[in-house]
Structure 1
Amino acid sequence: MLGLDQTALLLDGLKPPAGMEIDAAVGTTFTLDLTALLAIPVAATLASGEQDGADSADLLEVVRRHADRTVLFCQAGAISVPPKYRAALTFVEQSVVEARKPPGGIFHPKIWVVRFSRAGVYSHRVLVMSRNLTFDRSWDVVVRLDEEPDAVRTMDNGGVVEFVRALPSFAARDVTEVQSNLVADLSSTLATATLAVPTPFESGSFAPLLSRRDGQPFRGTCDHALAVSPFLSEDAARSFVDTATNRAVVIARPAALDASADGVRGAHRVLRMKDAVLDAERTIDDTFDTTATDDSGSGAMLQLRGLHAKTYVQDHGDFASCWIGSANLTAGAFSTNVEMLVRLTGPVGDVGVDSLLSPSPQKNNLSWFVEEHPLPETSKDSDAEEGLSELEGHAFDVASGQVTLTLTSAGEHWDAELGITPWQLPAGVSVRARLLSLGTDQGVEVVQGSAFWPAIPLSLITPFVVLEARVGGQVRHVLVRAQLVGDPEDRRRSVIANAIASRDDFFRYLAALLGAEQGFGSAGMGEGLFTGGWIGGGSSRVLENLLVTASRNPDRLASLDQTLKQLRDRSDVAEIVPEDFHQLWDAVYAVRKGAIG
């Protein structure tokens, strides 16, 4: 466990097994980068990964298809402002659900529950981790649990089912019926899924912390204990260290160790990541200029570095129990926050404290990354990076309220009025707002929770609103997803059609829409298949794929029908869609009209 050769990428963990596709996915994160959310369906579907960042029609179709079956819960106010607005964001609008800030805490779990399908057969996967859905370059940990019908040792799913079912209750604003049904359906099938306990562990369960002052889930006593946590608080650290009757080890950031020195002083060893490791990270970042910049006017986007993993190990006799997930070793994590941990128990020789820290050359473990940290004589006043600043707290509270964007037709354009309730900012705090699709020069002052933008083009309507909170010289930018009132019917329908500017664009879109069925649209897909009056069996192949898709996934053809209707209203439709394809489509649609609505 936690060996140097056991590395993984989050996006790889979300890729479907061979021959299957994502049927439903529910995730949680504290902070969210919308670009990272867009990357999930692209990584899961487009094997080549050769996307130039442009929102092409085929990429938009892939995002649309996966977004319709994905719900992601994140802390309200913790969505970072992307460098630019992208049309693809239209399709993840209904995927994002902001969770209100629980009293005295934050919404902090990191988990994905994914259901894959093929011909009506389901398979589930659960990822429990310390990683946010961002592009942070930090050291994190993830546990991947796959469904195996014939598994000898299986997880106790009760905790994760309870957690998923509870998620809609944390939403800052009402979830849609579609979102509610997806969460309920996924939790129902997850309840009977046989998730295999990963080798070499022998048993496992989930420990959800639902802001109920649950307290630490660890054993009251153990032989040896290890805590890996970037953030600490004195009482929480002392409580964990005191469970060990023999040795306790704490690994954390230097600032956290200094701020909680009195809480970890009873530990046998106090460790930090080696300076050489952190120096190497900084050198790589400086060399390749990996720090993201934000052209939206909100300044550089904060990216985490160094230690971010959260892992707790307790040896007890011949066994050791490991807790892995989102919770830091702080009072808030185990009392007021919403968190998720997974517990795994296995032989102490394989997963115990010594197996993770033994410095012998044969051991491929954490000992390569850590070094002793000298503690100060007394705890320092605070850890500058821990917790929320006062301004961040105000921004999170605003984002946790009711946020609406009311649209009113103004000829070919739309007037947009923002409403935020309750509006209870302390004196001296001001807020400006703009739609994410608008330039920074179009930000307006929010007065008593209201702001207004006249004559917005249809293509720039978005529920994503940038809020800029200021007090004194401090500035905090947050992104919120408002509830649209009076959303134009054809707004979402027109996005893909607007991205199709040529016949090649149309072919690529069709390949993305049909490609998952019979390999249609794989490498080599191009205009040659459609030209020459459907010579060479091309029309037969397309017809076959249309009929297979109509039978297995009729909703995809509903999307194609909407796109074709948009294209037929354009003067250049003959240059984009072959006339023969219109005839073929009309025949397929007539046969399958009942199925595709």
Structure 2
Amino acid sequence: MLRPGIDRLDYSKLLTPPDGFVLDQAIGTTYSLDFDTLIGACLALGLSVETDSALMKDPIYLLNTLREAGDKITIFCQAGQIRLPRNLSPLYILLEKVVFQIQLKKTAKNRHPSFHPKVWLIKYRNSAGQNHYRLIVLSRNLTTDRSWDVAVALDGEAVSESVTSSQPIANFLAFLGKFINGNDTNTKRKRSALRKLSSEIKLVQFKLEHRAFEAFEFIPVGTSDDNNQTYSLTHTPLYSTNFQELLIMSPFISGAIISDFNKRATRHKDAKCLLVTRRQSLACLTPGQYDKFDIYTLKDQVIDGELLISEDSSESISQDIHAKIYLWKRYSNSELYLGSMNATHSAVSGNVEAVLRLVSRNRWLNLSKLTDDLFGGSPDSPENPFEKVEFFEAGNDTEDFMTETEKVIRNILSSPIRASLEQTGATYHVTLKFKKIPLSEDVTISPLLVHCPAKLAKTIVFENLKLLELSEFYIVAVKRGDITVQRVIKVPTDNMPLTREKSIVTDIIKDTSRFFQYLAFLLGDDYLMSALEYSLLQQDFLTPGGQQVVLPSLYEKMLKTAAQSPEKFSEIEYVINMVDDDGIIPDNFIELFHYFRKAVGIK
């Protein structure tokens, strides 16, 4: 079940539609976000290809994928936790329709709670109109981080009556809908779609396929139920009932939380407790808080990782645990808790988290079975990636995992920010207005797609920006001493030109060759093979003497598409309308397209 060397999950396959189905709608949540990882997820959801596919490098395929993603995929992340991409592309503009930030209100103690759940709720549909649903609960963010994480996926089908176990999922979706703000067409459509999905998910029965588990509970910690009561884990045996066996795997810990479990362990003289964490997290423990626990961390040779060979460079990639796992066992009953929640005070009281509680029995799940999986047998086995910590230097029980620079960024985002633009000839002026800015901080902000950083002020004007330099994404850079932290934020913008998307299309499909590559991509059965086929399509229209003709192979492709996937003709029409430069699209292809357009009934 949890053997690091064997029980591996492929993120792409978790997202890929079942056979015969295509993506209808996907809602994803993450604490931190990497644009390229998000694009990889879009490829898996829309095209059923690997997230590290070669298609990631070709703008032709990304253009189609991200256009569809704008309509079908919605991602929520913690405000101020979007990572700066290594290589910038105008295609990131298309992610503005996909990404929504969540900034939670400060607590009474002036703390910054985090939006921390890692969840996918996906709806697929087949040609017969049948729906299939998938709930994925993870500990992994939507980033390139190589640390060890955990995930579980449950598939479901619609039923005729409301399902009790699906109500918290519906409430979680309703909570997310509160953060889709704005009155533009995209946000209105996204709000409506999320509201509809929240309603229909109440009639979906998710099933446990593993025989070890007999029931589950999805717990969206920090959100509210229909009675305005806050979801938490206080009602679960993990936090309310004594135990004989306990395992906590958490990369980050608070001394007070570990101490609470340690005190409860004293109520049973033979209680066994195991803590698996990161070595640097142990500094928050003080003597007397952990004496009932055996403590393990990853071995140094595992943390040091492996050498990643790329075309451009070789770099050492470190890794550590990032999984959050809790095992509770009492007599014949045992339960497993997986998801985003660390064993920290912030996670338990303040953050929004997502936890999946899995109910089992001792014969299937206990500390011995779980540690056999994690340790590869005996704890002393050379195959064990973990090592027991016999001694460490205890420190102060403080919990402040957020760096000072991150606090500055959250303070900036805690008050409203608006952007507006004005066209001046062929260029644009963009004005940013901040209601409140932090004092005495070295902070700059710049549009994502053009490097022109300006010192943070209540009003900032960026002048003479080109159309493809306009974006709702901005880079915030906070400098403290020799350290500079850069994050991407999204700022709602008034009067954004609707012609940006057309400019992106014409920037990518800039000649006849690229048009035929896009056409092959749309008409091909195998998206990966389409890259090799487009040159053959081009030959259908050009004889050695340069005269345009049409050969049977293109007819065959278009006839097959008309019969099996007529909706693709809408995509072709979209490109034809966007590419208005004379000479890029052959006249006889447009004539042929209009013939098929009438045949498939496109108005």
Q: TM-score range by the shorter chain?
A: 0.7 to 0.9
- Counterpart position of 1:192: 203
In the alignment, structure 1 residue 403 sits paired with structure 2 residue 417? yes
Alignment of 1:240-389 (within 5 A): 240-244=261-265, 245=268, 246-262=271-287, 264-279=289-304, 281=305, 283-284=306-307, 305-358=319-372, 363=377, 368-376=384-392, 379-381=394-396, 387-389=401-403
| CA shift in 2, pair 1:394/1:47, >3 Å | closer
Give, in angstroms, the shift of residue 579 of structure 1.
Answer: 1.8
Q: Separation in 1 of the partners of 2:202 and 2:60?
A: 37
In the alignment, structure 1 residue 225 sits paired with structure 2 residue 246? yes
In the alignment, structure 1 residue 560 sits paired with structure 2 residue 577? no
| CA shift in 2, pair 1:548/1:419, >3 Å | farther
- Counterpart position of 1:206: 218
Q: Deviations over 1:168-208 (max 9, x none)?
A: 33568789112212222222332222211131211111111
Q: Separation in 1 of the partners of 2:158 and 2:396?
A: 53
Give, in angstroms, the shift of residue 333 of structure 1.
Answer: 0.3
Say whether the 8 Å CA contact 1:2–1:366 is kept in structure 2.
Answer: no
Q: 2:190 aligns with which of 179, 186, 204?
A: 179
| CA shift in 2, pair 1:166/1:50, >3 Å | closer
Deviates more, 1:323-332 or 1:484-493: 484-493
In the alignment, structure 1 residue 423 sits paired with structure 2 residue 436? yes
In the alignment, structure 1 residue 130 sits paired with structure 2 residue 133? no
Give, in angstroms, the shift of residue 543 of structure 1.
Answer: 4.3
Say whether the 8 Å CA contact 1:493–1:562 is kept in structure 2.
Answer: no
In the alignment, structure 1 residue 32 sits paired with structure 2 residue 33? yes
| CA shift in 2, pair 1:366/1:18, >3 Å | farther
Q: Separation in 2 of the partners of 1:264 and 1:39?
A: 43
The residue type equivalent to 2:436 in the other structure is: W
Structure 2 runs not aligned, ≥5 long:
224-229, 542-548
The residue type equivalent to 1:423 in the other structure is: K
Say whether the 8 Å CA contact 2:90–2:449 is kept in structure 1.
Answer: no
Give, in angstroms, the shift of residue 80 of structure 1.
Answer: 0.7
- Counterpart position of 2:20: 19
- Counterpart position of 1:463: 472
Give, in angstroms, the shift of residue 215 of structure 1.
Answer: 5.4
Q: Give the match's secondary structure for 1:437.
A: coil
Greater relative contact order, per chain length (Cα 8 Å cut-off, separation 6+): 1
Q: 1:69 aligns with which of 69, 72, 81?
A: 72
Say whether the 8 Å CA contact 1:61–1:512 is kept in structure 2.
Answer: no
Identity of aligned residues (%): 23
In the alignment, structure 1 residue 83 sits paired with structure 2 residue 86? yes
Q: Deviations over 1:343-391 (max 9, x none)?
A: 11122232221111148998499982222112447x303679x511233
In the alignment, structure 1 residue 577 sits paired with structure 2 residue 585? yes
Say whether the 8 Å CA contact 1:253–1:307 is kept in structure 2.
Answer: yes
The residue type equivalent to 1:274 in the other structure is: K
Q: Give the match's secondary structure for 1:338.
A: coil
Q: Separation in 1 of the partners of 2:40 and 2:481?
A: 37
Say whether the 8 Å CA contact 1:405–1:419 is kept in structure 2.
Answer: yes
Aligned residues: 564
Give, in angstroms, the shift of residue 29 of structure 1.
Answer: 0.6
Q: Separation in 1 of the partners of 2:286 and 2:164?
A: 37
Say whether the 8 Å CA contact 2:56–2:62 is kept in structure 1.
Answer: no
- Counterpart position of 1:5: 6
Give the TM-score normalised by the residue count of structure 1. 0.86
Say whether the 8 Å CA contact 1:100–1:172 is kept in structure 2.
Answer: no
Give, in angstroms, the shift of residue 222 of structure 1.
Answer: 1.9
- Counterpart position of 2:545: none
Give the TM-score normalised by the residue count of structure 2. 0.85
Q: Deviations over 1:12-61 (max 9, x none)?
A: 21111122221111011111111111111223416486526545223211
Q: Separation in 2 of the partners of 1:128 and 1:522?
A: 34
Q: Separation in 1 of the partners of 2:309 and 2:578?
A: 47
Q: Give the match's secondary structure for 1:85.
A: coil
Q: Separation in 2 of the partners of 1:458 and 1:55?
A: 22
In the alignment, structure 1 residue 481 sits paired with structure 2 residue 490? yes
Q: Deviations over 1:542-580 (max 9, x none)?
A: 144246544xx3xx5444334212323x13x2xx32222
Say whether the 8 Å CA contact 2:17–2:48 is kept in structure 1.
Answer: no
Q: Deviations over 1:371-428 (max 9, x none)?
A: 2112447x303679x51123311202213433333121111121111222x3141x31
Say whether the 8 Å CA contact 2:562–2:600 is kept in structure 1.
Answer: no
- Counterpart position of 1:300: none
Give, in angstroms, the shift of residue 253 of structure 1.
Answer: 1.2
In the alignment, structure 1 residue 109 sits paired with structure 2 residue 109? no
| CA shift in 2, pair 1:147/1:343, >3 Å | same
Q: Separation in 1 of the partners of 2:165 and 2:231?
A: 22
Q: CA RMSD in A?
A: 3.2
Q: Separation in 2 of the partners of 1:559 and 1:398?
A: 40
Say whether the 8 Å CA contact 2:449–2:471 is kept in structure 1.
Answer: yes
